Chains A and B, each alone.
Chain A
Amino acid sequence: MDHFARLGLPAALDIETAALDRAYFALQRQWHPDRFVAKPPEERARASVEAAALNDAYRTLKDPLSRAVYFAGIKGVELPGDGKTIDDPELLMEAMEAREELHEAASVDAVEALATKARDEARKAMAGLDGLFLANDKPAIRTALLRLRYLDKFAEEARARRMNIERSKA
């Protein structure tokens, strides 16, 4: 059973967060181990497996990027494992230049400006995904997702950088 089916939702790039939460809470009410405290061990074990699968599904579908990656997987677009080296030379160049800029950014404002730019880029790429899936353009989907994944990572690094600057001033 895929994650969408597990939560009783149609497989789609866009899902309504409220509907996801509702489905998740309702199913956890049914399967959470807390509901099985007084039950026999077999039933407890079953509940634990169900609840774990629900959590995995919820966690994957809750975040728009991980949901997009998962949805792409269903559509036959495989991505290299998270954290692996970027294999697209253009993206690699973009990433290296951005990292350099981030490293040189000496003020919180400068870091914030870079982070805002990355966020805008991510928003644009995310908005463009729908069309790519409609056209079933697998190579373009793959490129876009790798780029989104990099932008997400960049936001995390910007946060760390910002903290370091704040710390060194404190």
Chain B
Amino acid sequence: MTLLEIHEPGETPLPHAGEGSLAVGIDLGTTNSVVAIAREGKPAALHDESGKALVPSVVAYPAVGGILVGEEARLLGACEPKNVVASIKRLMGRGADDVHAVAGVLPYEIEPGSGQTDMVKLRIGGKARSPVEISAEILKALRERAEEALEKPVERAVITVPAYFDDAARTATRDAARVAGLEVLRLVNEPTAAALAYGLDKGAEGLYAVYDLGGGTFDFSLLRLEKGVFQVLATGGDTALGGDDFDRAIAERLLAERKGDGLDDRIDETAVKAALALARHMKEQLSDREQTSGRLEIAGKPSFHALTRAEFDAMITSAIGRTIDIAGHVLADAGMTATEIHGVVLVGGSTRVPLVRTKVAEMVGKPPLTDIDPDEVVALGAALQAEALTGGGDTLLLDVTPLSLGLETMGGIVEKIVPRNTPIPVQLAQDFTTYQDGQSAMAIHVVQGEREMVADCRSLARFELLGIPPMTAGAARIRVTFAVDADGLLTVSAEERTTGVAQRVEVKPSYGLSHEDMADMLYDSMDNAEADMALRLLTEARVEARRSLLALDAALTKDGTLLSTEERAAIDAVRASLEAAIEGESRDEINAAAEALETLSKPFAERRMDRGIREALSGLSVGELENRVGE
């Protein structure tokens, strides 16, 4: 008989802590999730009793009985739609401001949080639940599956997130894991995890690309693989783009064919749903056939439809062309060309579409890598990283920031502090100064995005640096430091350098940026780069002109008596024309008026300087004067 152990008081170890517990890799997906484990460099997805690795990312809160996750939850959706949640990942880290962005897209009642700082909640099964709670249910189910399959406790995990997940969404994912009783060893970007799975399994070296086309999103990342080092060079994406678009294109054709036959009086939501379901089926069929057909029944009226691969290809050519364009921009960001790519890893169910494979092969001049299941590859990579982090491997992941991080400066212009594709962890600082004499506080507004104007970027956090001692405009030295850790989480601090007044803030944004928003913002920036630049220059001219007006007014108040009435009148007239120019839209006019004002007020400035020197010197002894000169 084994003796029971008794521990020293206060030293009782936590149940399952230590060697017995395993670390897994989790792909927490929008549509499906997968959990995997790696042992001695060999990763494997964990299956359920029926042999399936994919767990639908669906959670049900049934009227009767306990919470369900996965296939069972999805099945319940048909009879209790109000108690079932899918695609919760789209709401991770999103707040009240984002609600209207998703309202209508998701069939839930959304409750904005009680304040600006809260994440949205959903009314599901008669109770308000946060996306963190709901995601935690999925993670719990995955954890249970792993514990059953491995017959050991599982307490630590590497969880993957889209490369474009912002700070809020990453934080929310970490929180969900904590609720599920999992310690997050590291959040890893999905494309990086996919590359890891290929790199370690196949011993790949050189430049690799990851082409990830999911249901609603597209990501393209470039990595360099070298002796166990995975270095992300650049990443980009778009999410108005995915397999759902292909379904929509087919569904539109189906409904148009019915309309041609005069079958439907009007097309309602049920009709669209039915058409989409058949469209998805036909799309999948065309992955390994040249043609397919199907039957659609709406309001008791059946119709029969046929579709060839060639017809389908024609429908989706432009969407796929766009993914290739994006890949080109990511390559340009990294200063590389397509011919330098050794291999392209395909991720996401939509990469099963033959035309996708053809176009990707055309781009790089070689067939894409498809020998790892695109639905499992991300989880397998996460599992490998989990093993590496718990001491079992020698791999090193060097990842980057997907979007630029910056600050709002005068006139609503963004000053980028951490440019996109900067390797993390990173700490970068920049000095700023005050705009007005005696300014005692400075508003620090942290934004994320590629555009030049704050209004077009995403607001992450605001705080104020208070207690700046009175100084003339431009004399204070405020150093703002941005630190991004290895999980991609940001901390911002600000300090007045001459006096040491410091404020630190962890940017834990209450609501975040959706994957879609991020990609849109990025591509928006490219579309608008020219217009943005013009607006930036105009705004800078305005800020500069206002600054000189402020300085002039201060001088006039103090030393106005140095001017004759005529001189004063002349200055006032030019001053008025500068004010008018500031209101206008012409940068040249502003600059011309500002220059005219400067020329005109030059004698005034000189007289002020003379007076200043005289004042400074008056009443001082020769000795004091010598001391001053010596300083």
The smallest C-beta distance from A137 to any residue of chain B, in angstroms, reads 29
- In the complex the two chains form, is B396's CB within 8 Å of A59's CB? no
CB-CB under 8 A for A163 and B486, given A25-B229, A34-B388, A48-B425: no
- In the complex the two chains form, is A59's CB within 8 Å of B422's CB? yes
Alpha-carbon gap, A58 to B421, bound state (A):
13
Alpha-carbon gap, A167 to B390, bound state (A):
48
| Residue A138 lies at the interface, judged by CB distance under 8 Å to chain B | no
CB-CB under 8 A for A37 and B529, given A25-B396, A56-B426, A56-B427: no
Interface string of B374-408 (1 = CB under 8 A from A): 00000000000000111100001110000000000
Residues on the A chain within 8 Å of B485, using CB: 33, 48
From 226 to 241 in chain B, residues with beta carbon under 8 angstroms from any chain A beta carbon are: 226-227, 229, 231
User: Given A55, A157, A166, A167, which contacts B424 in the complex, CB threshold below 8 Å?
Assistant: A55
Alpha-carbon gap, A52 to B485, bound state (A):
8
CB-CB under 8 A for A49 and B423, given A28-B396, A157-B529, A160-B530: no
Residues on the A chain within 8 Å of B122, using CB: none
- In the complex the two chains form, is A38's CB within 8 Å of B391's CB? yes
User: Given A32, A156, A166, which contacts B398 in the complex, CB threshold below 8 Å?
Assistant: A32
User: Given A32, A48, A58, A85, which contacts B396 in the complex, CB threshold below 8 Å?
Assistant: A32
- In the complex the two chains form, is B424's CB within 8 Å of A160's CB? no
Residues on the B chain within 8 Å of A37, using CB: 185-186, 389-390
Residues on the B chain within 8 Å of A146, using CB: none
The smallest C-beta distance from A11 to any residue of chain B, in angstroms, reads 21
Residues on the A chain within 8 Å of B318, using CB: 170
From 310 to 339 in chain B, residues with beta carbon under 8 angstroms from any chain A beta carbon are: 318, 325, 329, 332
Alpha-carbon gap, A170 to B527, bound state (A):
13
Alpha-carbon gap, A156 to B452, bound state (A):
14
Interface string of A26-50 (1 = CB under 8 A from B): 0011001111011000000000110
User: Given B229, B427, B530, B533, which contacts A52 in the complex, CB threshold below 8 Å?
Assistant: B427
Interface string of B118-135 (1 = CB under 8 A from A): 000000000000000000
Alpha-carbon gap, A156 to B18, bound state (A):
52
Alpha-carbon gap, A157 to B426, bound state (A):
27
The smallest C-beta distance from A38 to any residue of chain B, in angstroms, reads 7
CB-CB under 8 A for A49 and B530, given A37-B389, A59-B422: no
Alpha-carbon gap, A51 to B426, bound state (A):
7
From 392 to 445 in chain B, residues with beta carbon under 8 angstroms from any chain A beta carbon are: 396-398, 415, 422-428
- In the complex the two chains form, is A52's CB within 8 Å of B425's CB? yes
| Residue A159 lies at the interface, judged by CB distance under 8 Å to chain B | yes
- In the complex the two chains form, is B530's CB within 8 Å of A161's CB? yes
| Residue A136 lies at the interface, judged by CB distance under 8 Å to chain B | no
Interface string of B226-262 (1 = CB under 8 A from A): 1101010000000000000000000000000000000
| Residue A107 lies at the interface, judged by CB distance under 8 Å to chain B | no
| Residue A164 lies at the interface, judged by CB distance under 8 Å to chain B | yes
Alpha-carbon gap, A39 to B57, bound state (A):
34
- In the complex the two chains form, is A34's CB within 8 Å of B486's CB? yes
- In the complex the two chains form, is A157's CB within 8 Å of B423's CB? no
User: Given B186, B231, B391, B527, which contacts A164 in the complex, CB threshold below 8 Å?
Assistant: B527
Please give the number of chain B residues whose Cβ is less than 8 angstroms from any Cβ of chain A in the complex. Answer: 34
- In the complex the two chains form, is B486's CB within 8 Å of A32's CB? yes
From 117 to 166 in chain A, residues with beta carbon under 8 angstroms from any chain B beta carbon are: 156-157, 159-161, 163-164, 166
The smallest C-beta distance from B277 to any residue of chain A, in angstroms, reads 31
From 52 to 106 in chain A, residues with beta carbon under 8 angstroms from any chain B beta carbon are: 52-53, 55-56, 58-59, 83, 85, 103
User: Given B325, B398, B540, which contacts A28 in the complex, CB threshold below 8 Å?
Assistant: B398
Alpha-carbon gap, A85 to B426, bound state (A):
28
Alpha-carbon gap, A59 to B325, bound state (A):
26
- In the complex the two chains form, is B486's CB within 8 Å of A33's CB? yes
| Residue B276 lies at the interface, judged by CB distance under 8 Å to chain A | no
- In the complex the two chains form, is A55's CB within 8 Å of B426's CB? yes
Residues on the B chain within 8 Å of A53, using CB: 427
| Residue B195 lies at the interface, judged by CB distance under 8 Å to chain A | no
Residues on the A chain within 8 Å of B540, using CB: 85
B526 to chain A: closest residue by CB: A163
- In the complex the two chains form, is B226's CB within 8 Å of A25's CB? yes
The smallest C-beta distance from B414 to any residue of chain A, in angstroms, reads 11
Alpha-carbon gap, A29 to B485, bound state (A):
16
Alpha-carbon gap, A158 to B186, bound state (A):
39
Residues on the A chain within 8 Å of B139, using CB: none
- In the complex the two chains form, is A52's CB within 8 Å of B483's CB? yes
Alpha-carbon gap, A29 to B186, bound state (A):
16
User: Given B229, B396, B423, which contacts A55 in the complex, CB threshold below 8 Å?
Assistant: B423
Residues on the B chain within 8 Å of A163, using CB: 329, 526-527, 529
- In the complex the two chains form, is B530's CB within 8 Å of A157's CB? yes
B422 to chain A: closest residue by CB: A59
Residues on the A chain within 8 Å of B226, using CB: 21, 25
Residues on the A chain within 8 Å of B423, using CB: 55, 58-59
Alpha-carbon gap, A55 to B427, bound state (A):
9
Alpha-carbon gap, A25 to B230, bound state (A):
10
Residues on the B chain within 8 Å of A103, using CB: 530
Alpha-carbon gap, A67 to B517, bound state (A):
34
Residues on the B chain within 8 Å of A166, using CB: 325
- In the complex the two chains form, is A52's CB within 8 Å of B426's CB? yes
Residues on the A chain within 8 Å of B486, using CB: 32-34, 48, 51
Alpha-carbon gap, A16 to B390, bound state (A):
35
- In the complex the two chains form, is A51's CB within 8 Å of B526's CB? no
Alpha-carbon gap, A133 to B424, bound state (A):
32
- In the complex the two chains form, is A55's CB within 8 Å of B530's CB? no
B185 to chain A: closest residue by CB: A37
Residues on the A chain within 8 Å of B325, using CB: 166
- In the complex the two chains form, is B527's CB within 8 Å of A34's CB? no
Residues on the B chain within 8 Å of A160, using CB: 526, 529-530
- In the complex the two chains form, is A164's CB within 8 Å of B530's CB? yes
- In the complex the two chains form, is A55's CB within 8 Å of B425's CB? yes
The smallest C-beta distance from B211 to any residue of chain A, in angstroms, reads 20
Residues on the B chain within 8 Å of A157, using CB: 529-530, 533
B486 to chain A: closest residue by CB: A33
Interface string of B203-231 (1 = CB under 8 A from A): 00000000000000000000000110101
Residues on the A chain within 8 Å of B425, using CB: 33, 48, 51-52, 55
Residues on the A chain within 8 Å of B332, using CB: 159
Residues on the A chain within 8 Å of B389, using CB: 34, 37
Residues on the B chain within 8 Å of A167, using CB: 527
Alpha-carbon gap, A85 to B541, bound state (A):
10
Residues on the B chain within 8 Å of A33, using CB: 425, 485-486
B536 to chain A: closest residue by CB: A83
Alpha-carbon gap, A85 to B543, bound state (A):
13
A-contacting residues of B (Cβ < 8 Å)?
185-186, 226-227, 229, 231, 318, 325, 329, 332, 388-391, 396-398, 415, 422-428, 483, 485-486, 526-527, 529-530, 533, 540
- Given A103-B530, A159-B332, 6 more A-B residue pairs with CB atoms under 8 Å apart are A28-B229, A28-B396, A34-B396, A48-B486, A56-B428, A157-B533
20 sampled A-B residue pairs with Cβ under 8 A: A25-B227, A28-B396, A29-B396, A32-B398, A33-B486, A34-B388, A37-B185, A55-B423, A56-B426, A56-B428, A83-B415, A85-B540, A160-B526, A160-B529, A161-B530, A163-B329, A163-B527, A163-B529, A164-B527, A167-B527
5 nearest A-B pairs in the assembled complex, by CB-CB distance:
A160-B529, A52-B427, A55-B423, A33-B486, A52-B425
